[in-house]
Chain A
Amino acid sequence: GAGVSQTPSNKVTEKGKYVELRCDPISGHTALYWYRQSLGQGPEFLIYFQGTGAADDSGLPNDRFFAVRPEGSVSTLKIQRTERGDSAVYLCASSFQRGGYNEQFFGPGTRLTVL
């Protein structure tokens, strides 16, 4: 009955490095979302999975960003050649798809700092 969990909670890396951020959604939730929240901003959509496939990746800023969800549960957001502008809190959310409104439950986020 746990909520959405994200690891690590904090990640500090150097410019140019590769990072992976993990999201464990609520068990049984078929939809999974990644958002990015920069300082002073609201969450901005990155990518949405329905099951194993990316249903909408229109929010990914460039090809350095990639996300997978191979078994339809855990998802990993991957950032290559990190830049200082990638520093933000990366939020994951999941929802149980059904008719009508489907509440998105958010994890606590991973704070990424690129030095």
Chain B
Amino acid sequence: DQQVKQNSPSLSVQEGRISILNCDYTNSMFDYFLWYKKYPAEGPTFLISISSIKDKNEDGRFTVFLNKSAKHLSLHIVPSQPGDSAVYFCAASGYGGSQGNLIFGKGTKLSVKP
């Protein structure tokens, strides 16, 4: 049973529009959430994170929203650019990110069309 779920395997958006990637989790012990971006033949690259004590974190074009009551988080990319085309993984940690393993979702492949 997956503790971190990304129910959309793929998403296609037009350049300049907003991309919204969603993630749900089941384990209430998770207290740190992260988004990683992965290009083919490369390892995942950290994008943005959020602690469970916050409901929003913003970094440039990227914003992550956390709804603890719904056990749901989302990544917003505005405006989307063709270079954002990649697989995005949602991940969670039960250690405040200070140690220990990350639990990953299956990923969402984002395609941004010019």
Q: Is B106 an interface residue (CB 8 A)?
A: yes
Main secondary structure of the interface of A (DSSP, over half): loop
Option from A48, A91, A100, A107 in Cβ contact (under 8 Å) with B97: A100
Residues of B contacting A109 in the complex (Cβ-Cβ under 8 angstroms) = 43
A107 surroundings in chain B (CB, below 8 A) = 43
Q: Are A43 and B89 in contact (CB under 8 A)?
A: yes
Q: Is the CB of B41 within 8 A of A108?
A: yes
A68 to B4, CA, bound (A): 29
A-B contact count (CB 8 A): 63
Number of interface residues of B (CB under 8 A): 26
Residues on B with beta carbons closer than 8 Å to the beta carbon of A31 = 99
Q: CB < 8 Å: which of A4, A45, A91, A100 contacts B103?
A: A45
B104 and A42 contacting across the interface, CB-CB below 8 Å: yes
Q: How far is the CB of A73 from chain B (nearest CB, A)?
A: 18
With A4-B43, A48-B100 already in contact, 14 other A-B pairs whose C-beta atoms are closer than 8 Å = A31-B99, A35-B104, A42-B89, A43-B44, A43-B89, A48-B101, A91-B44, A97-B98, A101-B97, A102-B99, A106-B45, A108-B41, A108-B43, A109-B43
Q: Which residues of B approach A to under 8 Å, CB–CB?
A: 4, 6, 32, 36, 41-46, 49, 51, 89, 91, 96-107
Question: Which A residues fall within an 8 A CB radius of B?
Answer: 4, 31, 33, 35, 40-45, 48, 50, 55-56, 59, 91, 93, 97, 99-109
